[in-house]
Amino acid sequence: MENYSLALIGFGNVGRAFARLLARKQALLQEQYNISCKVIGIATGRHGTAIDPAGIDLERALTLAESDQSLAELSTQPAPSGMLEFIRQCPADILFEISPVNHTTGQPAIDHLKTALEQGMHAITANKGPVVHAFSELTALAARHNRRFLYESTVMDGAPIFSLFRGPLPAAELRGFQGILNSCTNLILGLMEDGKTFDEAVKYAQSIGIAETDPSADIDGWDAAIKVSALATVLMGSPLKPQQVDRTGIRSITPDMISEARQAGERWKLVCSAQRAGAGVHGKVAPQRVPAGSPLFSINGTSSCVQFELDVLPGLGIVEGNPGPDTTAYGLLADMINIIRGM
């Protein structure tokens, strides 16, 4: 039995979902993969830190975090001075970086991942910022230390997009893609089809936790743009920054526009796309009317999809139905298993 120690930076909805998933899958991991895992470190922005090389009681950690209490009582070591000191102090084999995304710089998540790799840990993230702003640097650093840097949960939650291109599609050339990558705007547009105003739809999305208090990252297209950047950077070898994506959000979509599209048998969708253009890649995020024959037409609610144009498979697509923290957590678990199997 191989034993692995894990550390988490971030213990919000996704981090807690991962803790529950890990507990639920322990028996399967032992039976199918001959591995056992324990979380020995958790660092948060609001609930303090805990380090215990013998293993943290995850049920207790969940109870404390969800009751807005500190995790410090679970620690057997002095509190570190900051996140980087936490990583250096925590003797983990794998670090999970699940902190909030910074679309502009990717920090401080990039430094968290760099420090983990330099300490000899494998590094897994659900944070899109490091993939967009430091993919080459982190991948090269991981290789120098004979470690892996993986990021399946950064786009479409736990859907196997990046891993699909790492293995099952050898010698395939990706020429472009299009899809619906932001679940919040897809929900809002669907609610407007049902008769809600734009503001009413946004407020509903906020009430169920799909939209933030400040929803601009979603409705102005920034979240979608950074996902386009991540896919272009990793799968098309073009380090496209979000600021380079031709971006238009959905603020200008009116009920009249929604009605006109429906009368024509079409629907408004925030379409994300990228296409090879000479030596580079052109990325775009913009609302478009899509006809009933489009694979994007039937993507409802918080579901998402992406369709790839490859030289050998011109219409390969993936659809993910109504994802949430549990599906993102699965992407983290899948990355961990793939790292261990690859060793």
Q: How confident is the model at residue 100 (pLDDT cuts 50, 70, 90)?
A: confident
Identify the burial level of 162 via C-beta atoms within 10 angstroms of its C-beta, where 0-12 means exposed, 13-18 middle and 19 or more buried: buried
Domain identity same for 207 and 313? yes
Helix (H) or strand (E) holding 340: helix 325-342
Q: 0.85 cut: is pTM over it? A: yes
Q: Are 161 and 152 contacting, i.e. CB atoms less than 8 angstroms apart?
A: yes
**CA distance linking residue 330 with residue 324, whole number of Å:** 10
Domain identity same for 69 and 147? yes
At 324 the pLDDT is 86
Q: Is residue 140 part of a domain?
A: yes
Tokens representing 225 are 């743009």
Q: Are 103 and 16 contacting, i.e. CB atoms less than 8 angstroms apart?
A: no
**CA distance linking residue 309 with residue 307, whole number of Å:** 7
Domain identity same for 143 and 264? no
Q: In this model, does residue 343 exceed pLDDT 80?
A: no
Q: Are 128 and 154 contacting, i.e. CB atoms less than 8 angstroms apart?
A: yes
Domain identity same for 215 and 302? yes
Q: Is residue 108 part of a domain?
A: yes
Domain identity same for 104 and 25? yes
The domain that holds 215 is classified in CATH as: 3.30.360.10
Least confident piece of the model among 40-54, 116-130, 204-218, 243-257: 204-218
What are the tens digits of pLDDT across the range 300-328?
999 999 999 999 998 899 999 988 899 99
Domain identity same for 216 and 301? yes
* Preceding omega of 291 cis (within 30 degrees of 0): no
Domain identity same for 21 and 152? yes
What are the tens digits of pLDDT across the range 110-155?
999 999 999 999 999 999 999 999 999 999 999 999 999 999 999 9
Domain identity same for 27 and 123? yes
Q: Is residue 165 part of a domain?
A: no
Number of domains, the chain: 2
Work out the number of other CB atoms within 10 angstroms of the CB of residue 203. Answer: 14
Domain identity same for 106 and 183? no
Q: How confident is the model at residue 156 (pLDDT cuts 50, 70, 90)?
A: very high
The better pLDDT of the pair 165, 209 is held by: 165
Q: Are 95 and 7 contacting, i.e. CB atoms less than 8 angstroms apart?
A: yes
Number of C-alpha atoms within 13 angstroms, CB side, residue 275? Answer: 6
Q: Is residue 163 part of a domain?
A: no
Q: Is residue 166 part of a domain?
A: no
Q: Is residue 169 part of a domain?
A: no
- The mean per-residue pLDDT over the stretch 178-204 comes to 96
The domain that holds 88 is classified in CATH as: 3.40.50.720
Domain identity same for 42 and 140? yes
Domain identity same for 126 and 9? yes
Domain interval for residue 152: 2-158+325-342
